[in-house]
Amino acid sequence: MRIITVFTVFIVLFLNSCLTIEYDLKLNSNGSGSLSISYFLDKQLQGISSIGNDDDIVPLNLSEDYLSEVIGARSDIFYQNYRVSEDEFSYNIFVTFVFDSVEALNAVLPEENRIELTRVNGETTFRQTVMKDKSGEIDNETLSILNDIFKEHYFKFILRTPGTVKKTFQSELIEDRVTEYNEKFMDILIDDNKKEWSVIW
């Protein structure tokens, strides 16, 4: 079975209940900004999350210890508004990163998910890879199991730009300066092609 790595900081996983990962990235004209992550995980998935990862209660590691380790002594990025809650059915985690530059944000992102920001002739292009090309096959039995696990699960990425959006690729314009990229986990798992999205303003 192929090994899957997805964005965001950090994505991968799970079962017929509730898993939602939402990213809200706000960029300023100088490349600084903030990234908020909202993560909601059904407790039924806790058993799956512990496989091969005994230290984590959830597959997406957003523990404060982990975040502190990843950021280290950097002064150009930090996290704030860290909140963890749970109810009878789910774990809920919310955290916001504040960064001085996209380079600083990229320092805490997996290499394959880092953001590229380029400026040419007065236009700025944002580009991010969600999934690199994959190799290998998934047999039908495994595919059926994965479909049961992932079919209702997705992640959402919202980008708030400092200028009016002129063009989008693989994302939807929902306001003049706000675009939204949605991807179902199952589509990521079964698609062998490189997945990326971009926005120009």
**Which uninterrupted H or E stretch holds 136?**
none
pLDDT at residue 70, rounded to an integer:
82
pLDDT at residue 20, rounded to an integer:
72
pLDDT at residue 152, rounded to an integer:
65
Radius of gyration of the chain (CA): 17
pLDDT at residue 184, rounded to an integer:
73
pLDDT tens series, the chain, 201 aa: 333 333 433 333 333 345 577 899 999 999 999 999 888 776 665 554 443 344 443 445 677 888 888 888 899 999 988 998 888 877 888 999 999 999 999 988 877 778 999 999 999 999 998 765 454 566 677 667 666 666 666 678 999 999 999 999 999 999 999 999 987 766 666 666 667 899 999
Cα(32)–Cα(16) distance, integer angstroms: 38
The DSSP code sequence of 18-78 is -EEEEEEEEE-TTS-EEEEEEEEEEGGGHHHHTTT-TT-SSSS---HHHHHHHHTT-SSEE
pLDDT at residue 33, rounded to an integer:
97
pLDDT at residue 115, rounded to an integer:
93
> Among 131, 147, 157, which residue's Cα sits nearest to residue 186?
147
pLDDT at residue 174, rounded to an integer:
94
pLDDT at residue 191, rounded to an integer:
63
pLDDT at residue 5, rounded to an integer:
39
pLDDT at residue 50, rounded to an integer:
42
